[in-house]
Every structure is written in C-alpha cells, then in structure tokens.
Amino acid sequence: MHSDDKVDIASREELEMLLRLFYQDVLSDPIIGFFFTDVIAFSLEQHLPRVIDFWAQILFGESSYQGQLFERHQHIHQQAKLSQHHFSRWLHLLNNNIDRHFEGLNCTKMKTRAARIAESMAAALEQKSPSNNPRTGVQFFTP
C-alpha cells in the first residue's frame, strides 16, 4: 500500500482489519507471543470483538466496551510476569501495523492512547502488591 493509498481508521471494519493484522504479528512474536499461545487460553474470535469495542469507544465515542482491562492483564501477570519490555513490544507491534496500513487523526489518537495504556498498565502491575488497590492512579480512559 502506497502512502497515498492510506486512510484514517474510520469504522469498526477498519479496526477489525487492523487488529487481525496486529494479532497475526503478536501471536508469532518471539517476545510476547507466548502469553497468547502458552500462558492463557486465547481465542482471537472471542477476543477480537472486545478489543474492537474498546478501540471503538476511544476513537468513535461508542459505549459498547464492558471489559475489565486491568483485571484481565493482572490475571495474566499472576501467571507470567508482564514487564515494561512486554508492553513496549506490544506498542511497537501496534504502531507498526497502524503505520503500515493507515494514517490520520484517529491513528495518532490510537497510538497516543495505546502508549498511555502501556505505560499505566506496566506501572500498575509493577507496583501491585496484595495490600495495594490495583486501580490507584490508573486511568485507562482519560481523554
């Protein structure tokens, strides 16, 4: 796809296309792929609608996302430690897929929000202990 052919992410269908390409990379990635193939029972077809809802809420103002973002990652972290390195790799793969296939304001918004989420999630998991509130200072939906 030439740069001139790229469009902004403007629909759920485009989000699905982007996220399917992203998860192809994630699942085969030597750094983070094992979380999806060995640590958790992962089904792309079950996971994808939730992730599309999550990003549609951020990008398009939809209110269909009902997940528990931090709690899901906390569960994974308890089985195999998630580090800043893992979140950085996730962010790199996401940004790479966005840049390869799309460009525009929603792309920038998605990359900016993803960076904030990765940073917040890594920090929250790093300082999480049984006596701490896992939500303290963590805001995943801030504008």
**Spatial CA neighbour of 77 closest among 67, 87, 91, 65:** 87
CATH number at residue 123: 1.10.490.10
pLDDT per position as a tens digit, 98-138: 999 999 999 999 999 999 999 998 888 887 634 344 443 34
Q: What pLDDT is recorded for position 137?
A: 39
CB atoms within 10 A of CB 4: 6
Question: Is 141 part of a structural domain of the chain?
Answer: no
* HEC string for 35-85: HHHHHCCCCHHHHHHHHHHHHHHHHHCCCCCCCCHHHHHHHHHHHCCCCHH
Question: Is 134 part of a structural domain of the chain?
Answer: no
Domain span at residue 69? 3-127
Q: Could you give the number of structural domains in the chain?
A: 1
Question: Is 143 part of a structural domain of the chain?
Answer: no
pLDDT per position as a tens digit, 8-30: 999 999 999 999 999 999 999 99
Question: Is 61 part of a structural domain of the chain?
Answer: yes
pTM to 2 decimal places: 0.82
4 pLDDT more than 90: no
CB atoms within 10 A of CB 10: 14
